[in-house]
Amino acid sequence: MIRKLLTVSIVAVSLAAVACGGGGVDQDEAKKIQDHATQVQEDAQKTADEVRAGTKDAEQAAKEIQEDATDVANESIDAVEDADIPDEAREQLEAAQEQMNEAQGQN
């Protein structure tokens, strides 16, 4: 379940990044989201190392990573919600957010 949520989150972030790059979103906001996504990725790697070392519980680590990834995905989706993006991209973002919400509700 967590893997599904992370996958959906990554897809949403990727779609939003494409939209941000297209000029539909304020570039300062896009940079802030990109920086946050980079930090989440770095934190996830550190957490994975801690789990491998036995210093962190795997279930708790997965929950933390899930929350961080969901935050970035939601920030990304919110940033492009009112932006001037193609309808197809907007539909994909809405579908990704719906899947993310469904996956999160099943945890």
Q: Is residue 20 part of a domain?
A: no
Q: Would you state the pLDDT for residue 91?
A: 81
Q: Is residue 91 part of a domain?
A: yes
Amino acid 105 reads G
Q: Would you state the pLDDT for residue 54?
A: 94
Q: Would you state the pLDDT for residue 10?
A: 62
Using an 8 Å Cβ cutoff, are 10 and 99 in contact? Answer: no
Q: How many domains does the chain have?
A: 1
Class of residue 2 by CB neighbours under 10 A (exposed 0-12, middle 13-18, buried 19+): middle
Q: Is residue 82 part of a domain?
A: yes
Q: Is residue 22 part of a domain?
A: no
Q: Would you state the pLDDT for residue 8?
A: 55
Using an 8 Å Cβ cutoff, are 86 and 23 in contact? Answer: no
Under-50 pLDDT residues of the chain: 1
Using an 8 Å Cβ cutoff, are 9 and 101 in contact? Answer: no
Q: Would you state the pLDDT for residue 56?
A: 92
Q: Would you state the pLDDT for residue 85?
A: 72
Q: Would you state the pLDDT for residue 21?
A: 55
Q: Which range of residues forms the domain containing residue 8? A: 2-12+29-105
